[in-house]
Chain A
């Protein structure tokens, strides 16, 4: 009989039994997946983002398969916060796992407004601030691309909720560590990284963009190395937990993120391949830790072995 291992993870005041979150936008409200998999085996579900006003969403096509990944441009289709609070949120009480609300907006006022109203509901365990959606008119991603704007929006939202605040960062920046530091200093409890990479695909026969929105966000295994690096760089600069995400499909992928410094992981696109993947990763992670005599997942967080130089490495040689 192998010793039991502790798979729990702490995100601010929120304790999750498993370190696996379902990434925002990929899992609906969880209801859609309830007949498929046992939701009580998930760490948490991050809901699809909600905005102040209702949003129609982008025209089709909204999804395009690309090598080792997928481009999407859904356009934050959602019913707006009023309708959402009235008709949707009460249903989340039935979910057998934590439910994290996701807030998107185009101004600091709207981030504050939506967060204040959503976070006031008991069904919502934490708030993820989506300041990095690449698929809406230009201003959508601006916040996560500038350390000062990140600081301003996170600080403003911090003032209106005591619930755990997760800030979702964009990879489409020069220095993600500087933005991570801004979010931490402004009061974020955790970081989710990364959102999708901006991308585009063109049908060479019709010469038309393959997405209705022209540009989109790239996800899937194609972006995994970018995400691992972003987590690694941010983990070196902040002390709040990081939820690593970007193309995680297997235990090996998940371990990369833990070793790079993520305290938890989120699974998005892989649910479209096989909805059983999140459960499989948890089972395999437990077995991996047991086999190595490790008591908890925390023992591997940030333990990438990057400090030892080879005898053939010279000063200034980083290649």
Chain B
């Protein structure tokens, strides 16, 4: 038997609807809290079977409780949104590499910009907490369609983050894309972390390149197995990246990239190493 299998049933502790179709589920999962790194995820096994498991970011991890924050976008997340306190949920995790943050204080970046779009906020709270705990200045560049979907922003303020918000309709903060705010920031951060829709991540990569600041992007994709077994979720990555699978190139391909698994080698990649 495995002593600590990564797949197990856990109990739902609480459920909150933070905005229409935005659900926060707290789980009794001390095993996750012990080992989770910021930016990692779990695969949630559908309570009624029949469908593939869903990858969800680990939002909070404290004490004996870990939580999942997600938008209800389809049948799988709808099923998960129906969970109630006391229900059991099968989860596999923590999975993925998470953000690469220096373990020792001396190398800790002093000024970090975190860019989050929509549900991407779920992947960055742990990173924000860890960075502010270690004395870094953290600015959260947070974009959403309107003020109702700027979920839990007080949480980040409480954690010591400075907030810069943008909404599509101007109902709060800047009207427009959050990456425009990042591009025009007067003081350049040392490091950028980002999670959100692919278009936002691409724009973040572009802005990071313009600013000359290294950026780590947490990619979102539909996973198959979630553990690297099926090669269904890939992104073209520079062959020279330390994260790249060590596959030899086929001379007929003439490509300098290799497809890396988002669930296994990622979901966090350095922006300058992606070949998308």
Chain A residues within 8 Å of B, Cβ to Cβ = 25-28, 32-33, 35-38, 48, 53-57, 60-65, 68, 70, 72, 74, 77-80, 82-83, 87, 221, 249, 269, 271-276
Q: Is the CB of A221 within 8 A of B224?
A: no
Q: Is the CB of A60 within 8 A of B235?
A: yes
Q: Is the CB of B46 within 8 A of A37?
A: no
Question: A221: which B residues are within 8 A, CB to CB?
Answer: 50
Name A's interface SS: loop
Q: Is the CB of A32 within 8 A of B228?
A: yes
Contact of B92 among A53, A57, A78, A275 (CB under 8 A): A275
Chain A to chain B: the 8 pairs with minimum beta-carbon distance, closest first: A28-B229, A63-B232, A32-B229, A79-B247, A54-B250, A32-B228, A272-B52, A32-B227
Q: Which residue of B lies closest to A80 (CB)?
A: B248
Contact of B248 among A36, A54, A65 (CB under 8 A): A54
**Max chain A Cβ within 10 angstroms of own Cβ: one of B7, B227, B230:** B230
Q: Is the CB of B250 within 8 A of A53?
A: yes
CA A60 to CA B250, docked complex, whole Å: 19
Q: Is the CB of B2 within 8 A of A37?
A: yes
Q: Is the CB of B225 within 8 A of A271?
A: yes
Known: A35-B5, A35-B6, A276-B7. A77 touches B227 (CB 8 A): no
Q: Is the CB of A62 within 8 A of B45?
A: no
A-B CB contact pairs (8 Å), 27 listed:
A26-B230, A28-B228, A32-B227, A33-B229, A35-B5, A35-B6, A37-B5, A48-B231, A56-B259, A57-B259, A62-B231, A63-B223, A63-B230, A77-B231, A77-B234, A78-B247, A79-B245, A79-B248, A83-B246, A87-B246, A269-B52, A271-B225, A273-B45, A273-B46, A273-B52, A274-B7, A276-B7
Seed contacts A33-B229, A63-B232, A79-B248; 10 additional CB < 8 Å A-B pairs: A28-B228, A35-B2, A37-B5, A38-B1, A54-B249, A56-B249, A63-B222, A70-B224, A83-B248, A272-B225
Q: Is the CB of A26 within 8 A of B49?
A: no
B236, chain A: closest CB distance, angstroms: 8
B242, chain A: closest CB distance, angstroms: 17
Q: Is the CB of B229 within 8 A of A54?
A: no
Interface residue? B90 (CB, 8 A): yes
Question: B235: which A residues are within 8 A, CB to CB?
Answer: 60
Q: Which residue of A lies closest to B276 (CB)?
A: A60
Chain B residues within 8 Å of A, Cβ to Cβ = 1-2, 5-7, 45-46, 49-53, 90, 92, 221-235, 245-250, 252-253, 255, 258-259, 264
Q: Is the CB of B253 within 8 A of A56?
A: yes
Q: Is the CB of B227 within 8 A of A57?
A: no
Known: A63-B233, A70-B52. A272 touches B247 (CB 8 A): no
CA A38 to CA B5, docked complex, whole Å: 8
Question: B221: which A residues are within 8 A, CB to CB?
Answer: 60
**Max chain B Cβ within 10 angstroms of own Cβ: one of A57, A74, A77, A272:** A272
B47, chain A: closest CB distance, angstroms: 11
Contact of A275 among B7, B232, B264 (CB under 8 A): B7
Contact of A27 among B229, B249, B253, B259 (CB under 8 A): B229
Q: Is the CB of B50 within 8 A of A36?
A: no
B3, chain A: closest CB distance, angstroms: 11
Known: A53-B250, A70-B224, A72-B224. A60 touches B92 (CB 8 A): no
Q: Which residue of B lies closest to A249 (CB)?
A: B49
Known: A65-B52, A273-B52, A275-B92. A74 touches B231 (CB 8 A): yes
CA A26 to CA B50, docked complex, whole Å: 17
Q: Is the CB of A60 within 8 A of B229?
A: no
Q: Is the CB of A271 within 8 A of B229?
A: yes
Q: Is the CB of A65 within 8 A of B229?
A: no
Q: Which residue of B lies closest to A60 (CB)?
A: B234
Q: Which residue of B lies closest to A82 (CB)?
A: B248
Question: A61: which B residues are within 8 A, CB to CB?
Answer: 222
CA A249 to CA B52, docked complex, whole Å: 11
Known: A63-B222, A80-B248, A272-B225. A25 touches B230 (CB 8 A): yes
Contact of A272 among B5, B230, B234 (CB under 8 A): B230
Question: B233: which A residues are within 8 A, CB to CB?
Answer: 60, 62-63
Question: B90: which A residues are within 8 A, CB to CB?
Answer: 274, 276
Question: B1: which A residues are within 8 A, CB to CB?
Answer: 38
CA A37 to CA B4, docked complex, whole Å: 10
Question: B229: which A residues are within 8 A, CB to CB?
Answer: 26-28, 32-33, 271
Question: B247: which A residues are within 8 A, CB to CB?
Answer: 54, 77-79, 83
A245, chain B: closest CB distance, angstroms: 15
A171, chain B: closest CB distance, angstroms: 20
Question: B227: which A residues are within 8 A, CB to CB?
Answer: 28, 32-33, 36, 275
CA A272 to CA B225, docked complex, whole Å: 4
B118, chain A: closest CB distance, angstroms: 19
CA A25 to CA B224, docked complex, whole Å: 11
Known: A54-B248, A54-B250, A63-B232. A32 touches B52 (CB 8 A): no
Question: A78: which B residues are within 8 A, CB to CB?
Answer: 247
Question: A38: which B residues are within 8 A, CB to CB?
Answer: 1-2, 5
CA A48 to CA B231, docked complex, whole Å: 10
CA A60 to CA B248, docked complex, whole Å: 20
Q: Which residue of B lies closest to A272 (CB)?
A: B52
CA A48 to CA B222, docked complex, whole Å: 20
Question: A80: which B residues are within 8 A, CB to CB?
Answer: 248, 250
Q: Is the CB of A37 within 8 A of B7?
A: yes
CA A116 to CA B246, docked complex, whole Å: 24
CA A254 to CA B2, docked complex, whole Å: 25
